[in-house]
Amino acid sequence: MTSIPIFLVQHIATGDYMPARMFRSNKGWACWSPAEPDLAKLYKPLDPSPRVFYSRKSASSAIAGWMTGPTYYPESEDFGYDNRRKRNPQFAKREKPLLQIINATLQIP
C-alpha cells in the first residue's frame, strides 16, 4: 500500500474545509466565506469536497491568497492605470489564525 501525505485547509471556528472548487474556473477560493453567512449564501462552492494540497507550502500559499480577499474591477469607462483590480473592503478583517493546515495521508492500495 502506498501512502501519500496530503494537506487540507480548515476554518477553525466552523470546522469547514476549503472547497475543491468555488466556480467553474480554477480560481475563486478567496470568495470562500465560511464564517460570514450572507457571503456564504452568495458564494456557494461548486464542489464542496475538501481541496487537497500535496505540500505544506501550497496550502500556506492558499491561506495567504484567501487572507487578501476577492478582487474586483471598478466600474469605469477608463481602463487606465488607476483602474486596476481592487480589494473588496468587506473582506478586510480576515486574519491568519482563522485557518489551519491539517496533515492527512492518502492511502492507495
Dump pLDDT digits (tens) for 66-106: 887 776 655 655 555 555 556 666 555 666 678 999 999 99
Digit-coded pLDDT (tens) for 27-61: 677 777 777 766 666 677 777 888 899 999 999 99
The pLDDT value given to residue 34: 77
- Residue 3 pLDDT greater than 90, yes or no: yes
The CA distance from 33 to 66, in Å, is: 9
pLDDT band at 21 (very low <50, low <70, confident <90, very high): confident
Structural domain count, the chain: 1
Handedness of CA 38, 94, 10, 73 (dihedral sign): positive
Q: Beta-strand (E) ranges in 12-65?
A: 19-21, 47-50
Residue 85's pLDDT is what?
57
Residue range of the domain that includes 25: 2-108
